[in-house]
Amino acid sequence: MQQIHLGHIDYTILLVYFGFVIGIGWVLKRYMKGSTDFFLSGRSIPAWVTGLAFISANLGAQEVIGMAASGAKYGIMTSHFYWVGAIPAMVFLAIFMMPFYYGSKARSVPEYLKMRFDEKTRGLNAISFAVMTVFSSGISMYALARLLEILLNWNFHASIAVSAIVVLVYIFLGGLTSAIYNEVLQFFMIVFGFAPLVFLALKDIGGWSGLKEKLIPVATSQGYAAGTWTNSWSHMGKVTDNPMGVEWIGMVMGLGFVLSFGYWCTDFLVVQRAMAANSMSAARRTPLIAAVPKMLFPALVILPGMIAIALHYANGNNLLPMKDGAPDYNMTIPVLLVKYFPTGLLGIGFTALMASFMSGMAGNVTAFNTVWTYDIYQSYIAPKKSDEHYLWMGRWATVFGILISVGCAYLASKFNNIMDMLQLVFGFVNAPLFATFLLGMFWKRATGHGAFWGLLGGTTGAAVFHGLAIAEGNTPGIKGGWIAQQFHFHNDMGQNFYMATVAWTTCFVLTIVISLMTARTKSDAELKGLVYSLTPKPETAHEPWYKQPVTLGVLILIATVLLNIIFW
Amino acid sequence: MNFDLRLPIGLLFSFYGLLLTIFGAMSDSALYERSLGINMNLRWGLVLLMFGMAMLFLAWRARGRAPK
């Protein structure tokens, strides 16, 4: 792999960026008067800011590096992660769920569960979420440090230290507001850093028609139909027809419904951004404003991957570095940056790459310190303390959250298996969540016992299914089939989609059955503002059409359907 | 909160824009072989400068007004 040589101007750009990021935290410090300022930005942020932060918190390294890699590996079918696996859930969150999250004045997603169900359901969600977020932020840090080591020959330890300290300083000073403001900065950085890359790469390959033509040999040489890399739906009839190895039913159910709604509608990492909005209307518009760039991101992250693989084949398997006999897809974006960017612009592109890692990390850290302070510390360790005390705790939770993340980054560098194992377990825990929220918000009869045991049952269901299912070419063990090899899948992705569907269904059915068998613990009056049928609909008639969630949501869905048809 | 985010965004991108534009105008054309012969520093610098200035303008127009 060719190393990047950064010039003085590139380092200047990078350092100025770090300076700005920390400067924003420093300016915001004086606004942090109480814990609500620190954890919820005092619910005072305008919708365009929360909207862009919402999408930026999700635009971590995994997104930029991973989606470009998928673009190279699977072609435009990767867009399903956006147009099927994100937009519908974001619209649903805005229209149906945000009134409860924002209207209930819950300070976190686990706290909503406590208000709606009971203490144990909150505890289960809060603890599993807190553990997951510090680990994710650690994995993000590890990935960044590895990349910098390979590309720039930077010292691994120094990279970890620098990224951890920058994120630590600006969150310690300015809390969630600082994270949100910097996420918006990162958003623009990423857009302006990668747009010229797409422009140059697309020009180089002869535009969309040139790309289409050059992707034909990529598909046919791997035994697929000619248009496989440039059609999103046409080749989804059978698992063997496309490189993703999934058919449309499994994809729509697993990705489009269970995984997508589970992430976008219940993950506090993103929901927290909307909760910081300055009004109900702004909170509901947050995911909708975010949906617009999300809809267009495939052009920014998937397209470069498709171009890279086309160039790779056209040059006789020479562009992407090889790893274990296959192209190292994760190197797509760095390789293209080196190929097309002159020094100067390279600084912008490279800073954008760093920004994407840091926004993912910061999002996890702010979600962690809030859940830790409100849902674990205030609830179980030190209740009834002064607000200053919780503000103090939040600041220190940021410090030790980042320290644990650093520990996880080193753990990831030493024991890859532990990380695979943890991510697997997180998958089990996350898959059923949306069933609990759906029943909680739309069925007033759902009880705390039903929710708690339903969640545990769903997680168990996921684990058992995983133990019984195996994908082709995998040996029984961490990849599945550790009980018996009962269900066979074409590949890991299909196995994962069906596992999610099984977990969701188990949780959904169990919650209903147990709820019906147990007595209600919350009266209709207590559930007002928490359950759909008991809550007055938010009044939006006085708002202009472009501020009405339903109107915006419908427009966004129409645009998404059109995109799917154009690239069918 | 009385802190308009458009201000730092405008400052950052105006600075980057200015930096790239000047660098692009002064640098040797051999540098742009990899960017298909296009002086991307100059061109993209101008784009960033315009974006930065637009953000600064919006922040300036809204100065002193209580945030909604």
| Residues A17, B12: C-beta atoms closer than 8 Å | yes
CA dihedral A123, A402, A360, A26 (to 10 degrees): 110
In this complex, do A340 and B20 lie within 8 Å of one another by their Cβ atoms?
no
CA distance A299 to B28: 31
Both A122 and A170 in a single domain? yes
B chain contacts of residue A203, beta-carbon cutoff 8 Å? 36
ipTM: 0.93
Tell me whether strands A326-327 and A487-489 are parallel, antiparallel or unpaired.
unpaired
Interface test with B, best of A28, A178, A345 (most B CBs within 10 A): A345
Chain B residues whose CB is inside 8 A of the A41 CB are: 1
**Nearest-angstrom CA–CA distance, A449 and A298:** 42
Burial of A222 (0-12, 13-18, 19+ CB in 10 A): exposed
Residue A128 φ then ψ, to 5°: -65, -35
Reported confidence tier of residue B65, pLDDT bands at 50, 70, 90: low
B65 touching chain A per CB within 8 A: no
**How far away is chain A from the Cα of B57, in angstroms, using its nearest Cα?**
17
- Residue B68 has a pLDDT of 43
The minimum CA-CA distance between B60 and chain A, rounded to whole Å, is 17
Structural domain total, chain B: 1
Q: What is the DSSP letter of A316?
A: T
Please report whether residue A515 resides in a domain: yes
- Residue B66, pLDDT > 60, answer no
State the residue range of the domain holding A55. 8-378+385-414+539-566
The minimal CB distance from A181 to the residues B5, B19, B40 is found for B5
CA distances A537 to A87, A96, A288, A443, Å, are 23, 10, 18, 16
Co-location of A395 and A454 in the same domain:
no
Domain enclosing residue B36, as ranges: 6-61
Residues A394, A437 within the same domain? no
Is residue B19 pLDDT above 70, yes or no? Answer: yes
For A448, other C-beta atoms within 10 Å of its C-beta total 23
Based on the fold, state whether residues A468 and A344 are members of the same structural domain: no
A469 within a domain of the structure (yes/no): yes
Could you give the C-alpha distances from A15 to A173, A348, A371, A373, A533, in angstroms and in order?
Answer: 19, 11, 32, 32, 53
Q: Which regions in chain A score pLDDT beneath 50?
A: none
Helix (H, G, I), strand (E, B) or coil at A480: strand
Structural domains of chain A, count: 2
pLDDT at A2: 62
Kindly state whether residues A327 and A455 are assigned to the same domain.
no
In a domain, A254, yes or no: yes
Beta bridge partners, B32, equal none
Kindly state whether residues A161 and A219 are assigned to the same domain. yes
Of B20, B36, B68, the CB nearest to A345: B20
Q: Is B68 within the bounds of a domain?
A: no
B46: number of CA atoms within 13 Å, CB side? 6
Establish if B66 belongs to a structural domain.
no
Closest-CA distance, B27 to chain A, in angstroms, reads 10
Partner-chain contact A200 B15, CB within 8 Å: no
Strands (E), A71-195: none
Quote the DSSP letter at residue A484. Answer: -
In a domain, A480, yes or no: yes
User: Do A157 and A213 share a domain, yes or no?
Assistant: yes
Q: Give the pairing of strands A469-471 and A322-323.
A: unpaired
Q: B23 contacts in A (CB within 8 Å)?
A: 9, 344
Strand partners, A477: A480
Residue A553 and residue A518 share a domain = no
Pair A87, A557: CB distance under 8 Å = yes
Same domain for A227 and A150: yes
Residues β-bridged to residue A277: A45
Asked if the structure places residue A353 within a domain, the reply is: yes
B38 contacts in A (CB within 8 Å)? 200
List C-alpha distances in Å: A256 to A80, A302, A433, A455: 8, 18, 15, 20
What is the distance between the alpha carbons of residues A557 and A257, in angstroms, rounded to a whole number? Answer: 15
A9 contacts B23? CB cut-off 8 A:
yes
> What CATH number should be reported for the domain holding residue A125?
1.20.1730.10
Q: Which two tokens stand for residue A35?
A: 């814990």
CA closest to B68 among chain A residues: A46
Determine the distance in angstroms separating the CA of A352 from the nearest CA of chain B, rounded to an integer.
13
Spatial neighbors of A492 by CB under 8 A, at least 6 apart, are: A471, A474, A479
Q: What is the DSSP letter of A277?
A: B
pLDDT digit string, tens, across residues A205-224: 999 999 988 888 888 888 88
B36 found inside a domain: yes
Rounded Cα distance between A432 and A413, Å, is: 30
Interface test with A, best of B4, B31, B40 (most A CBs within 10 A): B40
Residue A364 in any domain: the answer is yes
SS3 A488: strand
pLDDT tens per residue across span A311-344 = 998 877 778 888 877 888 888 998 898 889 999 9
Residue A1 falls within a domain, yes or no?
A: no
Q: Which two tokens stand for residue A120?
A: 């144990």
- Write out the residues of chain A at the interface with chain B, using a CB-CB cutoff of 8 A: 9, 12-13, 16-17, 20, 23-24, 27-28, 31, 41-42, 44-46, 49, 177, 181, 184-185, 188, 192, 196, 200, 203-204, 278, 339-345, 348
A–B: how many Cβ contacts below 8 A? 83
Contact A177 B1 (CB under 8 A): yes
Task: Say which residues have a Cβ less than 8 Å from residue A238's Cβ, sequence separation at least 6.
Answer: A247
Which residues in chain A touch residue B5, judged by CB atoms under 8 angstroms apart?
49, 181, 184
Please indicate whether, in this complex, the C-beta atoms of A16 and B23 are within 8 angstroms of each other.
Answer: no
In a domain, A424, yes or no: no
In eight-state DSSP terms, residue A240 is: G
In terms of domains, do A545 and A532 share one? no
b vs e for A367-398, b when ≥16 Cβ sit within 10 Å of the residue's Cβ? bbbbbbbbbbbbbeeeeeeeeeebbebbbebb
From chain B, the residues in CB contact with A49 under 8 A are 5
Any domain includes B1: no
Q: What is the pTM of this model?
A: 0.92
Beta-bridge partners for A322? A327
Asked whether the beta carbons of residue B1 and residue A42 sit closer than 8 angstroms, the reply is yes
User: Is the CB of residue A47 less than 8 Å from the CB of residue A282?
Assistant: yes
Residues of A in contact with B32 (CB under 8 A): 342
Distance from the B49 Cα atom to the nearest Cα atom in chain A, whole angstroms: 11
Residue from the list B36, B51, B67 with its beta carbon closest to the beta carbon of A46: B67
Verify that A407 and A442 share a domain, yes or no: no
Q: Give yes or no: residues A172 and A25 share one domain.
A: yes
Residues of A in contact with B65 (CB under 8 A): none
Q: Token digits for A361?
A: 């990390």
Name all contacts of A233-241 with Cβ < 8 Å and 24+ positions apart.
Answer: A233/A564, A233/A568, A234/A568, A235/A77, A236/A77, A239/A489, A239/A490, A239/A491, A239/A494, A240/A490
* Type and span of the H or E element at A323: strand A322-323
